[in-house]
Structures are given as structure tokens and as C-alpha cells.
Amino acid sequence: MIDLDLIPLRPGFPVGSATSLTVLVRLSADASALPPEGPRPGLNIALVLDRSGSMSGRPLSEAKRCAKAIVERLGASDRLAVVAYDNTAETVFPSMPVRDRDLIKSSIDRIAPGGTTALHDGWHLGATQVARHLKAEDVSRVLLLSDGIANHGLRDPDQIASHCADLAASGITTSTYGLGLNFNEDLMSRMAQQGQGQAHYGQTAEDLMEPFQTEFDMLAALVARKVRLSLSGSPGCHIHLLNHEQRDAAGRIILPDLARAGDIWLLLQIDIAEASPEPANGGKIRVLSAELAFETIDGDSRNTGPFHLDLDPMTPAAHAAQSENVTVRARLTEIEAARLQERARVAAQGRDWETVDLLISEAEALAGQNEWVRSSMATLRGYAARREVRMFSKEARYKSQTMRSRMVARFEDSGFDRASEAQAPRYLRRKLEQGRRSSDED
């Protein structure tokens, strides 16, 4: 029920010299094999809200509005816990099936602003609530909201992120929601990345609702979870992952969950020594083999493969003359643009605006026909021109992470217009500014 394609940037295998190939691994749900849209997996969610002093006023009231909207999206077969944290973490509502929505909402209404930000304590208590009722067939996730830096309790970003990774291996994932200018985007995005959840941020309290809706739309449309990929190169072929570098204890590559109408993807660079593999298989050269493991939403474990990439041998000149695959080029462009944005982000933090401008120009030139990447760079240039370091840093961080790991709409092309994006499910929409709601991007 999952199709796996191995697509080289150019067809053919250049023989006779050391070379490097770019290959896209693309996974998509086979629509004909999917059951009609119906029940989704049960959700076991802990919503962890920052109620430190800086959340006082509009941010906290908007966070509570989002929390109550989440309550409305859950049913009696889902569980929800609500945790709030400042200097300490408190269980506002213990993990229970969502039967009495009014009771949960009235508990949320009573959350009041407090002191500092014990972010890890909040995450830990939320995760404990989820873990007490862990079932393999449910989607078990901690949703952590923060507008500040972790300044109380455990603060070491490496340790916090490793805790998220450790718990994800036991089936509890972590998504993070940053709010405003002062949260630590490195910590929050790493928690989500290593916690195998999603990373979102909102520039203002009003920008918070859309990311929550996006996450729940995706959870409702899941078709495969716990997607793991094993790759093996032929002798002399060395595989480098250009995104999704995280691996599980068995050494398999951890890929994101797959939802309807979307593709998840991994880009590889394969370095090949001068003595290339011998042709076989009807004269073709086998470069790569892949095997896939995943769980359906019913909790069934599936293994598929092996899938092979076999290429026709040709001279290096003939290979260089082949046309590029536009999908592989688009993904490669986005990964390279993501790298440039990360470098620009470091330069911006050092107030080196000249380098920032050069890197943005480089990314714009690289974008070529990719209108989304080009327009995205224009928004970053605006932050650079206004010397808005914190906003530049956050936008560049989340934009680059999106470009490296986003789920792609099956029939997406290089064009970009907001009207078309609005027709796609939220989790497949491309945004020009990751921290602003789509209706506000004009």
C-alpha cells in the first residue's frame, strides 16, 4: 500500500571514472489500496502549555483558545491530558478519554500566568501522562507550547532533545509550538526533530491556531506510521543522506509519518569509486537496494521490498547530456536552499548582514524556476533589511527545516500561487512565512 520509487537526478550510470549520483527515494500511499476516509487512529495526547509570566494576557488567552479547539477535535476514543508549567509543572487535567468536553475546557480556563519557564519539567509531566496509558495502536504525542527559554530545571538542549529521541523510540513523539520572539528555536526545533513530531511557530498569538489545525488535519489523514527504511549500496557505492539522518536502534533510517495525498522523501548522494560495479541484470548496473517497514493505521506491521535502482551504463559525456528529473531537482534545490539559510542564520546572529545578503542572493539564484523558494527568500530578505535578528533567525530555522523534511503534495509543480495552495490539505501547503497564518501573508 506504499509505493517506493528510486529516482536518479539523471538517468544512466557514467562508467569509467569516479562519480557522484543524486537519487531521490520517494514514498507515497497507493490511493487505490487505501480504505475510504474513515476512522483515524486513537490519539493519546498531552497538551503542555507555558504559563510563565511572559505569557500573561493575549498569548495565554490565545493558547487556551487553541487548547479548547483541540478538545473539540477529539472524541471519546481519544485521550487528552493538559499540563501547565512555570517554575513547576502542574497537571491541569489528567489523561482521560475526551467524554466531558466542558469539564476539560473549564480546567483550561482556570490556568493563570505565573513565573519562570521549567520547560523540561512540563514536557516530562506531559510525557508521563501519555506514558501511563500507552497503547501501540494509538498515536501518542506530547504537544509542547513555549514562548520563552528553558530557564528553570533541566536546561541543557542536548540532554532535553535526547530525552525526546529516547521517548520517541518507545512510541511517544513530541511536537513543539514556539510563540513570539523570545523562545529558543534551536531547542524547540530539535525537540520536535529528535522527538519525531512536528515543529511549528507563530510570530503572534493569533498565528498559533493554524499550526495546531495543521497537525490535527495530518493526524486525521495518516496512512502509515513508524516508517523505517533500510538502504544498501552495491560494492564501491557509498551512500550519504542529505536529509532525515536519524536512525533507529537497528540502524534503519527514521522517516516521517505518511498522510493521504502526500509524498515523503529522502535525498541521497551516492559516491562511486572509479572501479564501478559490474553490469548485471540485463546489462544494467545495480547501484542501490532498499527495504521498507511501516505500520498501517490499524497497527499492522508491513515489510516491503527489496526495491532496486538499476541503471544503464553510458559514457560520462552521454550521462551529462541527459535531462534532469524535475522532481529530484526541486528537492535538491530545497535542500541546498535550506543549507544556505542555516548559514545565513548564523551570520545574522553575528550581525554580519553583508554575508546574509550574499547568502540570500545565492539562494535566490539557486531557486531558478522554483517560485516558492524564490519568494521565500524575498521574505527573509525583508527581515534582513530591517535588521530583525530574532525574527530572521526563527524564520530561517523553521523555513530550512521545512524545506529539508516537508511532506510534498503528489502533483505539486514548480509554480506557486496562494489560491492553489489553499485548495490542498493544510499539512501539504507551502507557506512563505512559517510563523504567520496563511491568510496574513499578503
* Burial zone of 280 (CB within 10 Å; 0-12 exposed, 13-18 middle, 19+ buried): exposed
CA distance 362 to 356: 10
C-alpha cell recorded at residue 37: 476516509
C-alpha cell recorded at residue 188: 524547540
Binding residues for another protein, total number by CB under 8 A: 44
Binding mask 337-366 for another protein (x = CB under 8 A): ------------------------------
Among 148, 178, 195, 202, binds another protein (CB under 8 A): 148
| CA dist 211 → 218, 392, 437 (Å) | 11, 19, 8
* Min dist. Cβ of residue 297 to another protein (A): 21
CA gyration radius, the chain: 23
Binding range to another protein, per CB under 8 A, among 48-56, 289-297, 373-381, 420-428: 48-56
Amino acid at 439: S
Binding range to another protein, per CB under 8 A, among 51-59, 330-338, 346-354, 421-429: 51-59
Element (H, E) at 94: strand 89-97
Tell me: does residue 231 bind another protein (CB under 8 A). no
Residue closer to another protein by CB (options 53, 415) is 53
Rounded to 10°, the helix 353-367/371-385 angle is 170
Residue closer to another protein by CB (options 104, 242) is 104
Largest Cα separation within the chain, whole Å, is 71
Residue closer to another protein by CB (options 130, 237) is 130
Burial letters 373-383, b for 16+ CB under 10 A, else e: bbbbbebbbeb
Residue closer to another protein by CB (options 12, 171) is 171
Point out which residues pair with 74 in neighbouring strands: none
Among 72, 109, 158, 166, binds another protein (CB under 8 A): 166
Binding range to another protein, per CB under 8 A, among 86-94, 329-337, 359-367, 430-438: 86-94
CA distance 188 to 171: 19
Tell me: does residue 103 bind another protein (CB under 8 A). yes
Q: What residues between 111 and 140 interact with another protein by CB under 8 A? A: 115-116, 118, 120-121, 124-125, 127-128, 130-135
Give me the residue label for grid cell 490535527: 216
C-beta separation of 67 from 83 below 8 A: no
Tell me: does residue 175 bind another protein (CB under 8 A). no
Residue closer to another protein by CB (options 72, 100) is 100
Residue of 297, 287, 404, 386 whose CA lies nearest to 342: 404
Give me the residue label for grid cell 532533545: 161
25: helix, strand or coil: strand
* Min dist. Cβ of residue 395 to another protein (A): 20
* Min dist. Cβ of residue 118 to another protein (A): 7
Binding mask 181-210 for another protein (x = CB under 8 A): -x----------------------------
Which residues of the chain form contacts with another protein (CB under 8 A)? 52-54, 79, 87-91, 94-97, 99-100, 103, 115-116, 118, 120-121, 124-125, 127-128, 130-135, 148, 151-154, 159, 163, 166-167, 170-172, 182
